[in-house]
Amino acid sequence: MITFSETVNIKADPARVWRALTTPSEVVCWDTGVIEPLDAPDDYPAPGQHVRWRYRFGPIPLTLHDHPSEVETCSRLRSSIQLGPFDFDEIYTLTRWESSGTRLEAELSLSSPTPILGPLLERLVGQPLARSTVRTSLGAIRSHCEESPGPPGEEP
């Protein structure tokens, strides 16, 4: 298993960033691979759910399987993700940054249950692609939240 983290500071309050992380119609605006939710319930995310997302990796269409396990509104979101030959433990942590901003940390652990080739896939394919995707996604969520702040004081 390979673990890494990336952090971004966003000039938006935690409620705005949380809404971007957890509202399916907003996730498709910033998440670099997500095309659309296939079956996200109205109360997404909630522990124990299984939500499928249509995902595209370059020209390859995939289904991303999302299993939220910890949900602390405006603070922490943890999910188990299955995508292609990889399993991810994904944790988003939101903390107050300066007076009206948010520090968003994404911690990702990845593994591949693929027999024999799993460790090689993790090191040579999974880690570089996952790290690049996380960096790009964090930049995209920052832009999304800063460019479309939403109504003042709106809570999720």
Phi then psi dihedrals of residue 17, to 5 deg? -65, -40
Alpha-carbon gap, residue 90 to 31, rounded angstroms: 14
Task: Note the CATH number of domain 2-32+72-147.
Answer: 3.30.530.20
What pLDDT shows up at residue 126? 63
pLDDT digits (tens, 9 = 90+) for 8-32: 999 999 999 999 999 999 999 999 8
Burial class of residue 65 in the structure, from the number of CB atoms within 10 Å of its CB (0-12 exposed, 13-18 middle, 19+ buried): middle
Which percentage of the chain shows pLDDT scores above 90? 63
**Given the DSSP bridges, would you call strands 60-72 and 51-57 parallel, antiparallel or unpaired?**
antiparallel
Q: Which of 31, 1, 23 is nearest to 118 (CA)?
A: 1
Percent of the chain topping pLDDT 70 = 85
What is the residue-averaged pLDDT of the chain? 88
- Give the pLDDT confidence score for residue 61 in this predicted structure: 94
Over residues 111-121, the mean pLDDT reads: 69
Q: Residue ranges of the domains in the chain?
A: 2-32+72-147
Question: Amino acid letter at 144?
Answer: H
Judged against a pLDDT cut of 60, whether residue 153 lies above it is answered with no
pLDDT band at 42 (very low <50, low <70, confident <90, very high): very high
Contact status, residue 104 vs residue 141, Cβ threshold 8 Å: yes
What integer is the mean pLDDT of 23-52?
A: 95
What integer is the mean pLDDT of 126-147?
84
pLDDT in tens, 68-115: 999 999 999 999 999 888 888 999 999 999 888 999 999 998 887 766
Q: Determine which helix (DSSP H) or strand (DSSP E) holds 140, and give its type and residue range.
A: helix 127-147
Residue 156: per-residue pLDDT: 43
Model confidence band, residue 124 (pLDDT cutoffs 50, 70, 90): low
* pLDDT mean over 47-72: 94
